[in-house]
Amino acid sequence: MGAGGGTVGLKAMTRARTVKVGHFIVEFVTPGIGHMLKNAGCDFVLFDTEHSGFHNETIKSALRYFEAADLPVIVRVPSKEYHHIARALDMGAEGIMVPMVNDAAEAEAIVQSVKYTPRGNRGVALAVAHDNYQPGDVLKKLQASNDRSTLFVQIETAAGVDNADEIAAVDGVDCLWVGHFDLSASLGIPGRFGHPKFKKAIEQTYAACKKHKKAYGRLVPDTSSGIDLFAGGFDFICYAGDVWVYQAAVQDGVSKIRAGCKGRAGARAGSPAKRKAGSKR
């Protein structure tokens, strides 16, 4: 997978317990973003439309950028509503991530929105973006889309944890993805990821994934967290987000320049150019 091993589709990724490493896009969409991430070694990209503010035209363009780089995309939609899910799929999303999934009934309704007949009731739109505008046999196209579409459901509420086993059992759910901040808030311990209640929730959700042979994913803020979480059962590791990586890199460079300049301020004050300027007063 990734830069060295050719592209593997999201569906195949969810069926293997090897590590898959991606990146979260919430701010920057340029024509080169797909190739940048592909050449950085990413196996997938998580493209956010829940908190980013990206609208449909931007999403559709971004999906072409990632397609050009041959980089699989998971689009996190804003809600469990049919129109958010089906529209992202029609625009070409290979993977769909849905927030705040609380029980098996909600998971099944989402599957119905993701899949064409006979598995679901997604409205039929063929020879458009998701099948590259190609004509072809209708039944084969419906089956191909059902085989390709990959569903990531977010476990980020106390109810979702309580019902994780039945959610993981739903046919059509490929991965349980922990929304760690929202989950900690739902548990009454916002941001306290080392708290026993949070750890228990993580273990309970992992047990459901393991029992039903489903993938397990999470966003991580740094490399050490990603390594530790893989050891704890997570196999989809999304490394940070564009805005935070960019900001941290710029902050690091700016602070080092300021610190270095401060250390040399005395030497600069005594430079020949400075003394010459002072002698004219």
pLDDT value at residue 277: 54
Mean pLDDT within 238-264:
95
Q: How far apart are CA 151 and CA 146, in angstroms?
A: 11
For residue 45, give the DSSP letter: E
CA distance 159 to 74: 24
State the average pLDDT over residues 132-160: 93
Q: Give pLDDT tens digits for 166-195.
A: 999 999 999 999 999 999 999 999 999 999
For this structure, is 51 an active site residue?
yes
Whole-angstrom Cα Rg for the chain = 23
Percent of the chain's residues with pLDDT above 90 = 84
The pTM of this model reads 0.90
Residue 269's pLDDT is what?
Answer: 61
Check whether 264 has a pLDDT greater than 80: yes
Q: Is the pLDDT of residue 4 over 60?
A: no
Which two structure tokens, joined as six digits, stand for 107? 């998971």
**Which structural domains are found in the chain, ordered by start?**
2-245 (3.20.20.60)
Residue 83, H or E segment: helix 82-90
Query: Does 272 score more than 70 pLDDT?
Result: no
What is d(CA 57, CA 144) in angstroms, rounded to the nearest whole number? 25
Residues 75-89 have pLDDT tens digits of: 999 999 999 999 999
CB 155 within 8 A of CB 180: no
pLDDT for 127 equals 73
d(CA 172, CA 279): 80
Annotated active-site residue in 51, 83, 130, 212 = 51
- Quote the CA–CA distance of 179 and 157 in Å, as a whole number: 8
CA distance 243 to 240: 9
List Cβ neighbours of 75 (8 Å cut-off, separation of 6 or more): 47, 49, 59, 63, 88, 93, 95, 96, 97
For residue 249, which amino acid is it? A
Say if CB 217 and CB 19 are below 8 A apart. Answer: no
